[in-house]
Amino acid sequence: PVVIDLCDIGKSYQMADETFYALRELSLQIRQNEYVAIIGPSGSGKSTLLNVLGCLDMPSQGHYQLAGHKVAELDETQLAILRNHQVGFIFQSFNLLPRMTALQNVMQPLVYRLMPWREREAKAKAALAKVGLSDKAGHLPNQLSGGQRQRVAIARALVTEPAILLGDEPTGNLDSKTTSDIMQLFDDLHAQGHTIILVTHEQDIADHCQRVIRLIDGKLAADSRNSPHPDKL
């Protein structure tokens, strides 16, 4: 099934007396279990697109459906619910809460769910196990390496079982060995059926994904598929 359906999307900003388009005439479908890189020069609209996909930002033109939900028809509360249920965000700088343990960080997205604390904890533990960090559940972020912190952030993104995982330069702060470990984790998650969309400026990572979407000046400049068996980094 199609999880992301963008039809003629534009995102414009009013700058003094001019209208500036960060995205324009963008149509795109992404199906369940795709593994996609979004690339393009700085300022080409990659972050804007990721924010639209994650419902952090609303398009100014066009139609967006996420997991069958017409985003434009939702109010703020419904959008917050849609984001919480369908989107897992992973950031370059991890964005963990420093005074909370790995387990507490991973439980965060479940805070507003009507479920017993025990169930939240069990889901968070399962997510930490999925990223190979069961033994670090009680550690604070500053007791973990960069790669381990990003694993915690990935577990936090997974804990709600979202339709899509969105990474904004998720290996941007990691060394090359740790980058290849994290990409191996994304590969494993992809093999388990997750839909993964990564913004990157690293050609190696783009080559590693199955599909590469290139933006230039807010427009879709290329949409191509890599060979079916991407090389290990």
Residue 78 lies near ligand ADP (rule: CB under 6 A): yes
Sign of the alpha-carbon torsion through 107, 161, 170, 146? positive
Residue 81 lies near ligand ADP (rule: CB under 6 A): yes
Q: What is the DSSP letter of 135?
A: G
Contact indicator for 52, 227 with CB cutoff of 8 Å: no
Closest CB 138 distance from ligand ADP, rounded Å: 29
- Of 2-10, 45-53, 134-142, 180-188, which segment contacts ligand ADP by CB under 6 A? 45-53
Residue 216 lies near ligand ADP (rule: CB under 6 A): no
Sign of the alpha-carbon torsion through 41, 43, 47, 50? negative
Residue 63 lies near ligand ADP (rule: CB under 6 A): no
Closest CB 168 distance from ligand ADP, rounded Å: 8
Sign of the alpha-carbon torsion through 76, 81, 87, 93? positive
Overall residue count recorded for the chain in this entry: 233
Among 9, 26, 30, 40, interactor with ligand ADP by CB under 6 A: 40
78 vs 93, beta carbon nearer ligand ADP = 78
Residue 80 lies near ligand ADP (rule: CB under 6 A): no
Residue 88 lies near ligand ADP (rule: CB under 6 A): no
- Of 27-35, 82-90, 151-159, 183-191, which segment contacts ligand ADP by CB under 6 A? 82-90
Query: DSSP letters of 158-181?
Result: HTT--SEEEEESTTTTS-HHHHHH
Residue 74 lies near ligand ADP (rule: CB under 6 A): yes
Contact indicator for 128, 155 with CB cutoff of 8 Å: yes
Beta strands in 32-144 (DSSP E): 35-39, 61-66, 69-70, 87-91
Selection from 196, 132, 205 nearest residue 172 by Cα: 205
Among 39, 82, 197, 213, interactor with ligand ADP by CB under 6 A: 82
Residue 22 lies near ligand ADP (rule: CB under 6 A): yes
Among 32, 47, 173, 178, interactor with ligand ADP by CB under 6 A: 47
Interaction site with ligand ADP (CB under 6 A): 13, 20, 22, 40, 42-48, 69, 74, 78, 81-82, 85-86
